[in-house]
């Protein structure tokens, strides 16, 4: 087992833990792979930053969902719009593929 980095040590311990549980209880080896995070040491400051980032992401998602479900400042009425239609007769206004 590589013992030069904390991640390698924690991965080795996690694999050992999973093998022991497999031999004792018959639990599948690929169930709940998020448990590997229990074996990794994280600095408390880093954890606080991760929690804050997750909270900010959740706030942004809530605002986006709220704006999609209940759009604000959108005027769908036709009364305030004016349309001008200019129609020219003759081939000189065609300007398309044939020229």
d(CA 54, CA 24): 37
Alpha carbons 51 and 57: distance in angstroms, whole number = 10
Distance CA 83, CA 58 (A): 42
What are the boundaries of each domain within the chain? 1-41, 43-73
Residue 79 has pLDDT above 70, yes or no: no
Q: What is the pLDDT of residue 24?
A: 94
What is the value of pTM for the model shown?
Answer: 0.42
Mean residue pLDDT of the chain comes to: 77
In this prediction, residue 16 has a pLDDT band, given cuts at 50, 70 and 90, of very high
Given a cut of 90, whether residue 69 has pLDDT beyond it is: no
């Amino acid at each position: 087992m590589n013992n030069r980095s904390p991640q390698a040590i924690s991965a080795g311990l996690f694999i050992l833990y999973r093998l022991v549980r497999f031999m004792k209880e018959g639990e599948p080896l690929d169930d709940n792979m998020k448990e590997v995070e229990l074996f990794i040491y994280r600095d408390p400051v880093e954890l606080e930053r991760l929690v804050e980032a997750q909270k900010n992401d959740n706030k942004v998602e809530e605002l986006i969902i709220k704006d999609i479900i209940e759009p604000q400042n959108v005027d769908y009425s036709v009364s305030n719009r004016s349309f001008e239609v200019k129609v020219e007769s003759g081939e000189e206004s065609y300007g398309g593929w044939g020229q």
